[in-house]
Structure 1
Amino acid sequence: MIHQNQGKTLVEKIWDDHVVKSEEGFPDILYIDTHLIHEVTSPQAFDGLRKRGLPVFRPQQTVATADHNVPTLNQHLPIAEELSRYQVDMLTKNCAEFGVELYGLGHPYQGIVHVIGPELGITQPGKTMVCGDSHTSTHGAFGAIAFGIGTSQVEQVFATQCLLLQKPKTMKIEVNGELGKGVGAKDIILYIIAQISAAGGTGYFIEYAGSTIRSLSMEERMTICNMSIEMGARGGLIAPDQTTFDYVKGRQFAPKGEDWDIALDYWKTLYSDEHAKFDAVLEFHAKDIAPMITYGTNPGMGMGINDNIPSKLAQPETEQPSFQKALDYMGFLDNQPILGKPVDYVFIGSCTNSRIEDLREVADFVKGKQKDPNVEVWIVPGSKQVEAQAIEEGLDQIFQSAGFQLREPGCSACLGMNEDKIPAGKYCVSTSNRNFEGRQGPNARTMLVSPLTAAAAAVTGKITDVRELLS
């Protein structure tokens, strides 16, 4: 497993280790170590196997959970929404029929697929990981090649544990320096996307590097890698280091004993060599990053919280109509400040920001404070384990005292695919990853922020610079 060749990027090292067959002019056949599935993109793939009389080739490398369609209140009761109930029931039946491990509703490991993989130690450095979900890049935080796939590819992995893929281009994004007060991982990634646009990473696999990135915890790194897809990238990853190894060690499915030592020796080879060549390199400075907020209908339409919305005339002429359409949808004007804008809902959750550190940060900030009476606040933990830990640490009591509702795990109001929808025309300050038209429900208006900025909006009832509230 040790690499003799000099000058390889981290992506190339992992990719080359997993190529089953490579021929000039054809896609590579890439072996997939771990296949994560949920109820939305797996039913058609299971049906495809059924029609062809095929089993799941390596069921022990497939892990399933229910997350997109699950309610986040009263999970012990049957799901009220008919389509959601049907999809979750189908996942249960399919997993039973094909011998796939399922962490369904009621299971202590149930949760958002990109939260449970890391916390269970399934996600490990050097792996190839796929899921029929665009935010699979989250797992790249561990130094893994992880990316979302379509339903036909889900079927391919079921049948062969391999995929036909073109080797991606590589981009290095360096962030150096110390972050200011009130600025976190979510602000870093929103800042990068605002700088390079929602298409700036198209065709690339991105490696995040630099002193700012290295200083982040594993959960913060997951937030960064999670949103790689929002700049058009195939995926994003961070070279594993001691922070990574300490996080993985001792988890449920992490290697143990002698296997741990062998794995660790390999993981320590997983970095981009000094003379590795990237197809593109970008550099940013932590001191330039303020608490961020989006004002439009794609994650690239973001700005520092104290800035004014950009001018339509400053946009390329071809993009002016779509820019105006986004502002019309949001009910905003160009050149307008967003600070002080009243909000209706605050959603803290999703595969971007629903881990225990996110919940701790919010609880720490709101302790002794009250939510604004005009704001509804939902806190949705990313998994049953996060929920249990939050309760054990007494965070639920802090949230309750502040008027925040701690719900049960699921994708929730990240996307309008379950019961947790934002009503039409209402403004939601959200820690999720997408602010597309109707993403949180028909005609809902979404502003993406960090957990800290969301908490500030919850207690003030309006868009607030959290730095002014931090002692």
Structure 2
Amino acid sequence: MGQTLFEKIWNKHVVKTIDGGPSVLYIDKHFIHEVTSPQAFNGLNKRGIKVFRPQQTVATADHNVPTLNQHLPIKEELSRKQVEALIKNCAEHGVELYGLGHPFQGIVHVIGPELGITQPGMTIVCGDSHTSTHGAFGAIAFGIGTSEVEMVLSTQCLLQSKPKLMRINVDGVLNKGVVSKDIVLYILSKISASGATGYAVEFAGSAIRSLSMEARMTICNMSIEMGGRCGLIAPDETTFSYIKGRKFAPQGEAWEQKLNEWKALFSDADAAFDKEYHFDAADIQPMITYGTNPGMGIPVTGTIPTTETINENDKSGLNKSLAYMGLEQGAPIKGQKVDYVFIGSCTNSRIEDLRMVASFVKGKQKASDVEVWIVPGSKQVEAQAKAEGIDKIFEEAGFMLRQPGCSACLGMNEDKIPAGKYCISTSNRNFEGRQGAGARTLLASPLTAAAAAVTGVVTDVRELLN
């Protein structure tokens, strides 16, 4: 029997397996940020120990940082204290920190890939659920809790139970105006926000292989929203071309050696999965959510479900979600008024996302009653956007290009959506209060978000494309 991609990586990293229990898994790379690391470092300090392998840990400030005037002290007291604690802890334990002002600072799941730190075949963890993003490179990458952050800092290992294995195949050619965010929102609408609970999910098929690395990262980023433990895509020439020449990528002979290893990272033809799905790319339209979990999605041309059209178990959830969102059963989502547009987060804040939006809005103006925030995922993305003149296109359209950070993805910094306001967001979660107390979030692709920014309402971007 052949092995899946997941099994090939997992088996190489198991230090030992406890009889009837979890495995001790070796961790190649540990990313940390200011929110989930302070208590972990406190635990080390109480025990009088240091970070075991600091060279395998990388830190950045992202969740709590402001996205305007980053040269000034952080206003919010808790945010300021957490960032200060990260600076202190990294200095004391010899951990590399890309803090505010550093040219490599940015969202943790953006900087890892763009710096060439994220590589195929690795095990990668971070105290952040969307660590699954790094799986786009053919890595086992998943989020961990604060006590587990301490465990990895002190041992470079983690106790983990092996998940079940799922493969989701998407074959065929994508329609005009449909991008990777639409693919993953479509899958979520079909299998639900709990459909992959307990599974490691491999994404495969010709539509997935046709995607760029940045588009693949969007897919794997939201595998956690299906309940998956992680998501991953087998590395290929697209992967290798992306990594080659990046700051921390292997060089020279080391590159050739790694390349040979990476080329063996795929699921064998006779590998067995516990569950498998098949989807046709031609069935996917531009998608948008209407409820309060990422599985509550429909095509932008669709109507909001009614209690008559859904499972009995989902009826109370639908009523509760629509009451919060202020939306009606059976109503069309197209034409729904929008107050804010947020383009950013670890899901969609890379240079390709910004290029996509800039290409669409060039020569257009935002609707006068919509506030638009464009937040690059890193200082490098910000610098590249400025070098390409993307910032000028945004400025002329009335969009605001801010500074790097998690921003309005979550209500943990100054960028919050006011109560009762509707925000089309390229982020990954639309939970109640996620973007601020009472905020109403509709998840969509950068293209669909840009279309709403221009029209002021939920719009089918295909009607505006040349």
TM-score relative to the length of structure 1: 0.98
Superposed, 1:85-104 pairs within 5 Å as 85-104=80-99
Residue in structure 1 matching 2:19, options 20, 24, 27: 24
Cα deviation, 1:382-425, whole Å, max 9, x if unaligned, reads: 00000000000000000000000000000000000000000000
Number of the residue aligned with 1:3: none
Superposed, 1:29-48 pairs within 5 Å as 29-48=24-43
Q: Distance in 1 between matches of 2:279 and 2:19?
A: 37
Residue 81 of structure 1 and its aligned partner are, at CA, apart by 1.0
Name the SS of the counterpart of 1:339 in structure 2: coil
Q: Distance in 1 between matches of 2:465 and 2:129?
A: 35
Name the SS of the counterpart of 2:118 in structure 1: coil
Query: What RMSD over aligned residues (CA atoms) do the two structures have, in Å?
Result: 0.6
Superposed, 1:247-326 pairs within 5 Å as 247-326=242-321
Q: Distance in 1 between matches of 2:62 and 2:252?
A: 33
- The answer to whether residue 102 in structure 2 is matched with residue 111 in structure 1 is no
- The answer to whether residue 433 in structure 2 is matched with residue 438 in structure 1 is yes
Number of the residue aligned with 2:233: 238
Q: Distance in 2 between matches of 1:288 and 1:364?
A: 25
Question: Aligned partner of 1:165: which letter?
Answer: Q
Question: Aligned partner of 2:267: which letter?
Answer: S
Number of the residue aligned with 1:155: 150
Q: Distance in 2 between matches of 1:434 and 1:384?
A: 24
Name the SS of the counterpart of 1:313 in structure 2: coil
- The answer to whether residue 130 in structure 2 is matched with residue 135 in structure 1 is yes
Name the SS of the counterpart of 2:373 in structure 1: strand
Q: Distance in 2 between matches of 1:447 and 1:319?
A: 19
Number of the residue aligned with 1:332: 327
Cα deviation, 1:23-54, whole Å, max 9, x if unaligned, reads: 43121110000000000000000000011111
Residue 317 of structure 1 and its aligned partner are, at CA, apart by 2.3
Question: Aligned partner of 2:319: which letter?
Answer: Q
Question: Aligned partner of 1:227: which letter?
Answer: M
Number of the residue aligned with 1:122: 117
Cα deviation, 1:284-306, whole Å, max 9, x if unaligned, reads: 00000000000000000000000
Moved more, 318-327 or 51-60: 318-327
Q: Distance in 2 between matches of 1:407 and 1:319?
A: 39
Determine what percentage of the aligned residue pairs are the same residue: 73
Number of the residue aligned with 2:183: 188
Q: Tell me how many residue pairs correspond in the alignment.
A: 466
Q: Distance in 2 between matches of 1:303 and 1:201?
A: 19
Q: Distance in 2 between matches of 1:64 and 1:87?
A: 13
- The answer to whether residue 372 in structure 2 is matched with residue 377 in structure 1 is yes
- The answer to whether residue 60 in structure 2 is matched with residue 56 in structure 1 is no
What stretches of structure 2 of length at least 5 have no aligned partner? Answer: none
Runs of 4+ with deviation above 6 angstroms? none
Q: Distance in 2 between matches of 1:382 and 1:318?
A: 38
Q: Distance in 2 between matches of 1:446 and 1:76?
A: 30
Cα deviation, 1:99-135, whole Å, max 9, x if unaligned, reads: 1000000000000000000000000000000000000
Q: Distance in 1 between matches of 2:21 and 2:306?
A: 46
Residue 467 of structure 1 and its aligned partner are, at CA, apart by 0.1
Cα deviation, 1:226-260, whole Å, max 9, x if unaligned, reads: 00000000000000000000000000000011110
Question: Aligned partner of 2:252: which letter?
Answer: G
Number of the residue aligned with 2:168: 173
Cα deviation, 1:52-97, whole Å, max 9, x if unaligned, reads: 1111000000000000000000000111111111111110011011
Q: Distance in 1 between matches of 2:307 and 2:210?
A: 37
TM-score relative to the length of structure 2: 0.99
Q: Distance in 2 between matches of 1:322 and 1:217?
A: 36
- The answer to whether residue 341 in structure 2 is matched with residue 341 in structure 1 is no
Number of the residue aligned with 2:211: 216
Q: Distance in 1 between matches of 2:249 and 2:273?
A: 31
Residue 316 of structure 1 and its aligned partner are, at CA, apart by 2.4
Number of the residue aligned with 1:424: 419
Name the SS of the counterpart of 2:308 in structure 1: helix
Residue 319 of structure 1 and its aligned partner are, at CA, apart by 2.4
Cα deviation, 1:342-374, whole Å, max 9, x if unaligned, reads: 100000000000000000000000000000000
Q: Distance in 2 between matches of 1:468 and 1:428?
A: 21
Residue in structure 2 matching 1:15, options 10, 15, 18: 10
Cα deviation, 1:242-283, whole Å, max 9, x if unaligned, reads: 000000000000001111011001000000001000000100
Q: Distance in 2 between matches of 1:284 and 1:316?
A: 22
Residue 314 of structure 1 and its aligned partner are, at CA, apart by 2.3
What stretches of structure 1 of length at least 5 have no aligned partner? Answer: 1-5
- The answer to whether residue 405 in structure 2 is matched with residue 410 in structure 1 is yes
Q: Distance in 2 between matches of 1:321 and 1:77?
A: 46
